[in-house]
Amino acid sequence: MKKIAFLFPGQGSQSVGMGEALYREFDYVRELFDMASELTHMDLARLCFKGPFSELTLTINLQPAITVINLACLAVLEREGLCPCLSAGHSLGEFSALAAAGVISPEDTLRIVLERGKLMHREATGHPGAMQAILGLTIDAVSKIVSVAAEAGIVSVANHNSEKQIVITGAPEPVAHAGALAAERGAKAIPLNVSGPWHSELILGAVDEFEAFLNTVAFSAPAKGKVLHNVTAASEPDPQVIRSLLAKQLCSPVRWYDTMVAMMGGAPDLFVEVGPGKVLTGLLKKTLPREASKTIFTVNDLQSFEAFFKVV
């Protein structure tokens, strides 16, 4: 049996129509959507399949929407008896990774992301911010720029996505200042169309409430492979520590590049992006060494699943 690593996307991978083919093909996917819609009091099928995009991308809606698609794709894999040796998820996607490892149930996964979305929306509404992608500089260079810009207000690293793709977050003016400093050093600084300053101190007010909510949910030790966490880029066997890491993740950088390096150390034969879009596939291709013989798949529709099942 080949060793497979699962990667679960988060916000930014959405598109109207995502998951519709799986919904029409598999009764268990329809049952998953029904359960998710009942739990969240949202018509997730309509939201995912029909949009509109502006409604879909609101974080309070998007977190359950992305997660139900991730879980639907995971269910198709599990029906074929596939189990990961390693899993990781980008920000929101980390909760789907925990479901894949058996740490939390699908029902609790959806309850958690619904609460997370509500809390993040509340904090972002009260503390407006901005995010920019910085392309072309290392994490050390961007960290130095952020330190300078932070003298004028809240700004920090949100995501270290690949060696030279880093997202910054915080209050609008210091984020703009940091982007301008990066551009002076030859980088591209691209403002992102997001609904909040994710992974910044501006949403710190959500952390304690979110951790308290997590303490009401049953967590188990990982039973189906290890999960690499955003905050540490390492695995963790203790359910209570996992809860703490998930709460810290709200305002901590997503160490995705370090996570992918650590995942490569586990020597999986295949990497599979499980969910909508191809964002993580693109980042992984930037991180894998050119001579690596790994195979990367994205599974989110009938054609991609068919292609993947031919090689496992």
Beta bridge partners of 87: 6, 227
Could you give phi then psi for residue 226, rounded to 5 degrees? Answer: -95, 155
In this structure, the number of other CB atoms found within 10 A of the CB of residue 35 comes to 16
- Is 91 marked active-site? yes
SS3 159: strand
Question: In this structure, what token pair is assigned to residue 295?
Answer: 């195979």
**Nearest Cα to Cα of residue 16 among 41, 47, 40:** 47
| Catalytic residue, candidates 13, 91, 195, 200 | 91
| Catalytic residue, candidates 121, 127, 160, 199 | 199
Q: List, in sequence order, every beta strand (DSSP E) within the chain.
A: 4-8, 86-89, 130-135, 155-162, 165-170, 188-191, 226-227, 270-274, 295-299
- Is 121 marked active-site? no
Question: In this structure, what token pair is assigned to residue 100?
Answer: 């894949």
Interatomic CA distance for residues 240 and 247, integer angstroms: 11
Asked whether the beta carbons of 203 and 123 are under 8 A apart, the reply is yes
CA atoms within 13 A on the CB side of 297: 23
Interatomic CA distance for residues 173 and 130, integer angstroms: 9
Task: Enumerate the active-site residues.
Answer: 91, 199
